[in-house]
Every structure is written in structure tokens, then in C-alpha cells.
């Protein structure tokens, strides 16, 4: 049996991330399995106040036990894009927005590194490049877009239905909503993802959505996946999350 823990979109919420790992530790004590990896489903940064601390926590994570995997989300890619070029725009982002727009939360990420306000964009960019550690940039840039574990693929946003994994567009893996969300077909592996906020963890049989809105002050969901069986972790233990 393949066991994997998965955590939804973190968005700079260090306390919620630490609490999720405490739930995993409690479940490990029950199962005796200290080796099952933890897949973080991307959007590690933005909106929340502690993006820098979240990245530091995740970099140090493997020393705490078990393999820690972190997938790159669209917000993580936009952060890296800004550090490379302040004028860069993600091609999937609506034209009226930029990473520094208040709805996207880039300002909160920069503030977590002690950056801002600055008099203009070049000054803000120069300050960000100086303050964000190279180790954070290198680590974030090296995050995979997918992780395959047994009968499950972990990804930030989802996949383009009908295409094998090797032919997926990286932008789809970080940004897609439709036609993925409404597609009822068997994708082969079960897809575990985040990106699209839902009120509660959502199991559709062919996919599982674990983004419950931590970036908007809501819960950060952590689940354990064994084969294709899913359970959500809480202080009361496991709660099965069956498909409809």
C-alpha cells in the first residue's frame, strides 16, 4: 500500500502549516509509519504574512523526518518571475492584474522578507533581489510540477483531460480549472490537487481537491492517501473522504 500525506495551498500561513504537520505526526504515531512522504500542493507563498518563513520551514523539513515534497504552484512561479524581471507577466494571468495586485498577495510575500514600500518598481525589485536569499530562489525554482505516487498524481491545479502526463502544458499544471474540474472521465491515476478554493475537501472519484482557502483565512487541509483511499486529518483523527 502506498501512503502519502498531502497538504493544500499554504499561502504564507506558517502556523497553519505547522499545525498540519502536527496532525501528520500524530497519525504517524498511530500507524508507526515515519517514512511516508508529505506532498505540499503548491502556492506556498502570497496572501499570508509568512511566505519567507514557510519556505524556510519547508527547506528544513526533511530533517524532521520523512520525505517532504513541495510542488510549484502558479503563485510560486509568479514570485520567481518577479524576481527575474519586475515587468514579467504570467501568460495565464488576467490582463488587469499583476503579481503585486492586492488580490494576488505578492506584496505580503515581499513584506515577509522585509521588502517595501519603495518609491518605484525598479527600487522595489532591487530591494527584493537583495533581500530574498539565493537559497530560497534556487529551492523554489527546482520544485517539480507533478509528483507520482502509486495510483495517484499530485499537482497544483490539475491536468488537461485526455493528455498523458508527459505531454501536459506546464501552465495547465499550475493554472487549469476548466475543462479539468467538470470532466468526469477516469484520468488513469487519481489527481490530487489544490488551486481552486472549495468550502471543504472535495473527492470526485477521478480527482481530489484539498484547497480549502488558507490564503483567505480559512482552514488548511491535510489528508492521508492510501492507494486511492482518502481521509482528512483532524484533532479527532482520520475522517474518511469517499467519492460520491
Res. 239: pLDDT tops 70:
yes
* Cβ neighbourhood burial of 17 (10 Å; 0-12, 13-18, 19+): buried
Q: What CATH architecture is 3-73+145-240?
A: 4-Layer Sandwich (3.60)
Please tell me the pTM assigned to this model.
Answer: 0.97
Domain boundaries, the chain: 3-73+145-240
What is the per-residue pLDDT across 104-144, written as a single tens digit (0 to 9) for each? 999 999 999 999 889 999 999 999 999 999 999 999 999 99
Q: What is the pLDDT of residues 81-95, one digit of tens each?
A: 999 999 999 999 988
Dihedral of alpha carbons 192, 196, 198, 204, sign: negative
Q: Coil, strand, or helix at residue 224? A: strand
Amino acid at each position: 500500500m502506498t501512503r502519502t500525506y498531502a497538504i493544500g495551498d499554504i499561502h504564507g500561513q506558517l502556523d497553519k502549516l505547522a499545525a498540519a504537520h502536527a496532525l501528520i505526526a500524530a497519525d504517524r504515531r498511530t500507524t508507526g509509519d515515519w517514512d511516508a512522504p508529505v506532498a505540499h500542493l503548491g502556492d506556498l507563498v502570497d496572501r499570508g504574512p509568512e511566505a519567507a518563513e514557510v519556505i524556510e520551514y519547508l527547506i528544513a523539513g526533511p530533517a524532521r523526518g520523512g520525505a517532504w515534497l513541495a510542488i510549484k504552484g502558479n503563485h510560486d512561479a509568479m514570485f520567481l518571475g518577479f524576481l527575474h524581471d519586475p515587468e514579467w507577466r504570467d501568460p495565464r494571468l488576467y490582463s488587469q492584474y499583476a503579481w503585486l495586485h492586492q488580490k494576488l498577495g505578492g506584496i505580503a510575500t515581499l513584506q515577509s522578507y522585509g521588502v517595501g514600500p519603495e518609491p518605484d518598481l525598479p527600487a522595489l525589485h532591487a530591494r527584493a533581489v537583495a533581500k530574498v536569499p539565493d537559497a530560497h530562489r534556487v529551492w523554489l525554482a527546482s520544485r517539480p510540477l507533478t509528483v507520482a505516487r502509486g495510483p495517484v498524481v499530485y499537482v497544483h491545479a490539475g491536468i488537461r483531460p485526455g493528455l498523458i502526463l508527459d505531454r501536459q502544458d506546464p501552465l495547465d499544471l499550475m493554472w487549469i480549472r476548466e475543462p479539468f474540474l467538470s470532466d468526469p472521465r477516469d484520468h488513469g491515476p487519481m489527481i490530487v490537487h489544490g488551486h481552486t478554493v472549495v468550502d471543504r475537501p472535495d473527492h470526485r472519484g477521478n480527482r481530489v481537491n484539498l484547497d480549502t482557502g488558507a490564503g483567505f483565512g480559512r482552514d488548511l487541509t491535510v489528508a492521508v492517501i492510501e492507494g486511492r483511499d482518502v481521509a482528512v486529518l483532524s484533532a479527532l483523527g482520520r475522517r474518511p473522504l469517499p467519492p460520491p
